[in-house]
Amino acid sequence: MTLATGSKSSDATDARSADFSPLQGGLLLRIRVACHVRALKRASARTPQRAFTLIELILVLALLVIVTSLVVPAMSNFIRGRALDSEARRMMALLHAGQSRAVSEGMPMLFWIDEKNATYGLEAETVGQKGDAQAENLTVDATLQIAVKGGAGSLTTLRTLPAIRLLADGTVDEKSPSTVQLTDSAGVSLWLAVTRTRTGYEIKNSDK
């Protein structure tokens, strides 16, 4: 009798478990989610959404204009300065290359400068019918101007263009220009000036 009673109780539990179907479980889950969503909506309704006002936007734009007006001129000066310095160093590198060629090949080299077309280059003073295969021809940065200054008597020229004559011993001929001036659009200049010993040129911030 006892076994029979236990069996009936177990059967009743299984029946109740069977009555709680997956459909009912899904319904309960949806009810809980809906309640949670409504609670969030009520909470957000109590918290006011704050947006930018017109005055705040105007202040931000004014600050941007002020910062831009301070930064742009400084950046422009920096870029111009970099162009001027870079061109001066490029010219110095070509002069050094010309001195090395003059010494190694045992013949003068001419570093010519075309002020009108803002170009300069390097080639051997004496060339064959085919010309100088190692000749260089470079263009000055578009924001810069180039000018030749000074010299002892009549300047050395190549095809009517003023030229620096680099001798076979690596020194600079006395009839070569004493300075080459590079000037940017703001009027700032750098000079390539011949050294006192005439062993080359150096970059200076003035023509003295």
Query: Does the pLDDT value for residue 79 go beyond 80?
Result: no
pLDDT, tens digit, 9 for 90 and up, residues 91-115: 999 999 999 999 999 999 999 999 9
Q: What is the mean pLDDT of residues 194-200?
A: 94
pLDDT, tens digit, 9 for 90 and up, residues 132-150: 999 999 999 999 999 998 7
Which one is predicted more confidently, 175 or 48? 175
Q: What is the mean pLDDT of residues 6-30?
A: 53
The residue with tokens 């111009």 is: 80
- Binning pLDDT at 50, 70 and 90, where does residue 3 land? very low
Question: What's the CATH code, domain 84-204?
Answer: 3.55.40.10
Which sign does the torsion angle of CA 35, 38, 42, 47 carry?
A: positive
